[in-house]
Amino acid sequence: MKPFVLFIAEIFLWLLLTGFSISCPASTPFFRNIGTEYGLSHPKVNCILQDKRGFLWFGTEDGLNRYDGHFFTVYKNQPNDTTCVSGNIITDLLEDKAGNLWIATADGGITRYDYHLEASKQFKQYKFNAHKPGGIPENHINKIAEDNDGNLWLATSNSFVVRLNKKSERFDVPVKSGGRDILSLAMAGADTLWAGREDGGLLKINTHTLGFRIDKHYIGTDGKLPRSSIASIFKDRSNRMWYGDRDKKLYTYQLHTGIEQVFLPGGAEKKIPRDVIASFAIDKQGKIWMGTQGSGVTTFDPAEMQFITYRHTDQEGSLVDDHINVVFTDRSGIIWIGTDNGISIYDPVYSPFNQYNLPKPAKKDIYIFDFYRNPKDNALWIATSEGIYIKHSKSDNYEHRIVAYKGNALSVTKFYVDNDGTFYLGTDYSLFRYNPVLNRATLLPNTNDDMLMKRLMGSRIVSIVRDTIGNHPALVVSPYGHYLTYYDFVDKKWISGIAQEGIKRLNVKDNVVKKFYKDKNGTLWLATDKYGLGALQQGATIFSYFTNDIYDHESISSNDVYDIEGDRKGNLWISTYGGGLNYFNKNELRFSHIPGSSNLTEGICSDARGNLWMICNGHMHEYNPETRVYSCYDLPDLKSNGGVKGYMYRDCRGNLYAAGRNFYIEFNPVGIGKIENEPDVYFTDFKIFNTSYSHLLENKTIRLNHNQNYFSLEFSAPEYSSNHMHYDYILEGVDKDWVDADKRNYASYSNLAGGRYRFKVRASNWKGSVVNKFASIVIVINPPFWRTWWFYTLIVLIIGPLCYLFYRYRINEFLKRQSIRNGIAQDLHDQIGSTLSSISIYSKVARIYQQQQKKEKLSEVLQTIGETADDTISEMSDIVWSINPKNDHMSSIIQKIRSYAQPLCVAKNIAFSLACDQRLLKLTLEMETRKNFFLILKETLNNAIKHSHCKKIAVDIQLKGSKINLKVCDDGVGFNYEDKLTQAASAAEGGNGLRNIKCRVTELNGALVVKSSPGRGTTINFTFGNL
């Protein structure tokens, strides 16, 4: 009776708690918003344009902005400065066929911007000047258009439609009929310009012939299609014109057929806003986007003929403002919406990521654990902390089932459908068989006999797999924190992981097993918390483990394994929490860490193409093993709720699922647009000492002088789908390897030596990705002339001979000093040595005379010894004097001669005179010259004093030209010069003095003239030197 009562109670509880349906709101586009806090110069954005390089330009109420997806560069007008934009209220932008940017302003006419030119010439202003014929007629310009001839057409506020011939730079007004205030412009054909006028309808101008036509039914309020003011005009890809007027109507005109259609607010379409349409754009799917002046954005799907309006709300991800000024589609398909309060961005690359919010019962947060797509009815089952949610096919509603057991509502944490179709539920209570029809959960037989599985306490089932253990089929489950447990279908009982004998027998080391994975070979793999990757080979009895080894780069990068996924080759992808993504080659038993993968990688799942998807830091990441490209999809609508977490699921249709708190996302990877991993990089500026020389970037090689060696390069990679732009650069010749610049988009260098350098920069949308594309420029720094090869060659040619000459000079000086030393030694030997020998001999003779008591003889010998010693002292004094550098001047020689000759002449009663040219007194003579000159003069005077018996001696020293002339005259007895020479040549006792004089004259390369005869005195003339 009791089981029956329990059964009735369960049925009653099921009737109360399950089977009700909850509606789910449809998913809406998520808009990312940018305002002044990101660097935008003003919140009101009037116009948007993307140039040929990919940069986006925003015209605001206060300046022009260039945007690369990460940084704004602002250009503003400065009073009295003609090198900047002409005005600050930017109304329209156009890039012509030559790549020049034309800027229309409401307060300064128009400006041409050419980034190819040097900084001072990049902006050229065209402003109203009453004294300049052919100039722009006014400064308030609303729109710009370009015809096929390259002429510009301007929509003015009070001067009709103005044409600018860019070659002649002359402005003219071809049509002066009708209203003067032009609101909108668009080329409708090869030669037809449409102009929308204030209170003037639509003007059509042939840009080639300048003929025009005004459709009169556009004028006034009584016409066929009253259109008093055409606020905006747009031509789509199918040659259909779209335009809206101030009467808040929308019109289309098919150029091929001439069929015109009007959409009225409140008409059959219903969803057309009752507002002025300020701007149009078309997306890649062909939908028309329309920005209104107060009702947000409306899209029109021509295929479905459906209008949808998106407006500003307080929820994150809505439009930033309802007052739209411009709508623009860039080349990648991103929709940019300029409003009065900033920019809203819709990126279709994220549109395949459909987000669904689960309705909260009793305002409780819902935690999602698992998914299951029923292949029979295509219903999506969602396991949550609040039971099961079922989203049936082709329905936006959810069926919410509360699964209960013994009156307890269960958290459903895992779905598992066995081979026989049995549906199992892993819960926070235990493992249940589940009857989907009755919403009834029952425990497996004998579960109450197991201490762990009869009631989990503080745990939940996180993974389930069928395996064979001990030759018995078993269902292996992981109760989080309790090792592993398996149910033996033969013995119909649980073998609990908390039993020590079971842990030891299977070698289960970690109590936290996060995931089971069974490969095609039957190997059971474990994702453990602390022991890496576990493996139980088919037929094996214990688990083996692969753990991190810091000394082995081919080991797993972290022991905290989160998820396991097999690939087509039978190898494994391993996500780790703290070590990123790993690839395990089972044949080689080798792990490869994926560079750039997020360290905190959670659930992983492969798609139909073999690419791997991961949950990382709340976002979705993708890795392509073939291209080795790693991509990050920062889903903008996930930031406010903590992002996605946990594991992923792939259904039978190839869709992938991931969940967060209260929501989940569903996407098909095939439909997801790719984020450009290697965007093109452009150089945007080149500065030398912080002064811009951007025009140099037009050359492939930049040449700088040696004093321009402090420079910086700025670069940018326009890309708008990712916020992970990463730059690396290298200056070859300076940097040894690529420099990690992260998001920094400039590089600076200083004090570089002269030489040739190559600067390369590359960008990627994820750090660590393999990037082969880069931009480069060659920089040549011309060295100073003293560091050029020709200067080095010249120096070698000059220094070489100089060094040789210096070497020869040193050698010659050494030889000269050696010669002087030899001369001094020779003099000492010849003069002092022989004299000392004579003294020694005389000393021995004196000793003999002393012994013989011959006093007179002894006295004579002693006198001779004294005289000889005196002569020796004198000669030594002369030698010392001659080598003393203090006596180099001629004045010292004159003083020495005077001090020598004067006393001798006085003793002999000889009148002595000495005259010297004053120019010679400061003359410096070399030591050898000085010595020879002095000894010649001394010897001459000595001969005259001792042998001439003269009464007068006159010495005259003069400078004659470049030579020194010495003249010594006496009035003595004279001699026969020829006889004396013959006597000196025969080496007789006499003539030594004259012979010595002649030898010294020869050493000085001088000329000696002797004039003497008996009884007539003697005159000696000596000339030497070449001063």
Pair (794, 895) in one structural domain: no
Do 77 and 84 contact (CB within 8 A), yes or no? Answer: yes
Radius of gyration of the chain (CA): 55
Residue 143 lies in a domain: yes
Task: Provide the pLDDT for residue 1.
Answer: 40
Q: How much is the pLDDT for 995?
A: 77
What does the pLDDT read at residue 433?
97
Residue 167: is its pLDDT beyond 60? yes
Task: Give yes or no: residues 712 and 817 share one domain.
Answer: no
Per-residue model confidence as pLDDT tens digits over 184-236: 999 998 899 999 998 778 999 999 999 999 876 555 544 444 456 899 999 99
734 and 796 assigned to the same domain: no
192 plus 235 within the same structural domain: yes
Domain boundary among 733, 758, 786: 786
Looking at 883, 899, 932, the residue that finishes a domain is 883
Cα–Cα dist 1008/205, whole Å:
117
SS3 83: coil
Alpha helices in 752-854 (DSSP H): 789-827, 834-851
User: Among 12-21, 543-552, 639-648, 771-780, whose mean pLDDT is lowest?
Assistant: 12-21
* Alpha carbons 926 and 919: distance in angstroms, whole number: 17
**408: Cα within 13 Å, side-chain hemisphere:** 13
Name the amino acid, one letter, at 99. Answer: G
Please indicate, yes or no, whether residues 75 and 182 belong to a single structural domain of this protein: yes
- pLDDT value of position 1002: 86
Q: Give, to the nearest 10 degrees, the angle between helix 927-947 and helix 992-1003.
A: 160
Looking up tokens 């044409």, which residue turns up?
163
pLDDT digits (tens, 9 = 90+) for 748-779: 999 998 899 999 999 988 776 778 889 999 99
Residues 876 and 919 in one domain: no
Domain boundary among 786, 809, 835: 786
What is the percentage of the chain residues whose pLDDT exceeds 90? 59
Between CA 202 and CA 218 the distance in angstroms is 6
Whether 956 is in a domain gets the answer yes
Closest CA to 194 of 261, 147, 246, 237: 147
For residues 252 and 310, membership in a common domain is answered with yes
Q: Confidence band (pLDDT; 50, 70, 90) for 364?
A: confident
Distance, CA of 152 to CA of 134 (rounded, Å): 14
Please tell me the distance from the alpha carbon of residue 548 to that of residue 589, in angstroms, as a whole number: 13
- Look at residue 957 and tell me if it is in a domain: yes
Please state which of the ranges 26-40, 311-325, 328-342, 531-545 shows the lowest mean pLDDT.
26-40
pLDDT tens readout for residues 710-741: 999 999 999 888 888 889 999 999 999 999 99
Indicate whether 713 belongs to any domain: yes
Residues 768 and 793 in one domain: no
On whether residue 365 sits in a domain, the answer given is no
User: Is residue 2 over pLDDT 60?
Assistant: no
Q: Between the ranges 91-95, 538-542, 705-709, 714-718, where is the mean pLDDT highest?
A: 91-95
Q: Domain check: are 764 and 849 in the same one?
A: no
Check: CB of residue 419 under 8 Å from CB of residue 404. Answer: no
pLDDT for 142 equals 98
Least confident segment among 18-32, 59-73, 477-491, 919-933? 18-32
pLDDT of 589: 95
Residue 62 belongs to a domain: yes
d(CA 67, CA 74): 9
What pLDDT shows up at residue 920?
83
Question: Confidence band (pLDDT; 50, 70, 90) for 533?
Answer: very high
Mean pLDDT of the chain: 88
DSSP states of 787-804: GSHHHHHHHHHHHHHHHH
Same domain, yes or no: 878 and 903? no
Query: Span 487-514, mean pLDDT?
Result: 83
Residue 177: predicted pLDDT: 86
Per-residue pLDDT, 224: 47
Q: How far apart are the C-alpha atoms of 885 and 942, rounded to whole Å?
A: 25
**Average pLDDT for residues 957-966, to the nearest whole number?**
89
Give the C-alpha separation, 491 to 444, whole Å: 12
CATH number assigned to the domain comprising residue 294: 2.130.10.10
Which band of pLDDT confidence, cut at 50, 70 and 90, is reported for residue 936?
Answer: confident
Q: Which domain holds residue 941?
A: 887-1027
Q: Residue 719 domain-assigned? A: yes
Mean pLDDT in residue range 973-990: 66
Confidence band, pLDDT 50/70/90 cuts, at residue 17:
very low
Query: Could you give the number of structural domains in the chain?
Result: 4
Together in a domain, 782 and 808: no
- Residue 760 CB coordination number (10 Å): 16
Residue 732 in domain: yes
pLDDT digits (tens, 9 = 90+) for 232-268: 999 999 999 999 988 888 999 999 998 988 888 765 5
Give the Cα-Cα-Cα angle 498, 499, 504 (nearest 5 degrees).
105
Distance CA 390, CA 400 (A): 6
The CATH number covering residue 1012 comes to 3.30.565.10
pLDDT computed for residue 830 by the predictor: 62
Q: Exposure pattern of 1006-1021 as b/e (b: 16+ CB <10 Å)?
A: bebebebeeeebbebe
Tokens of 999: 């030898």
Per-residue pLDDT band at 14 (split at 50, 70, 90): very low
Residues 719 and 827 in one domain: no
pLDDT confidence of residue 337 = 98
For the segment 642-698, what is each residue's pLDDT rounded down to a tens digit?
Answer: 789 999 999 999 999 999 999 999 999 988 888 888 899 999 999 999 999 999 999
Q: What is the pLDDT of residue 15?
A: 39
Q: How confident is the model at residue 989 (pLDDT cuts 50, 70, 90)?
A: very low
pLDDT at 846: 77
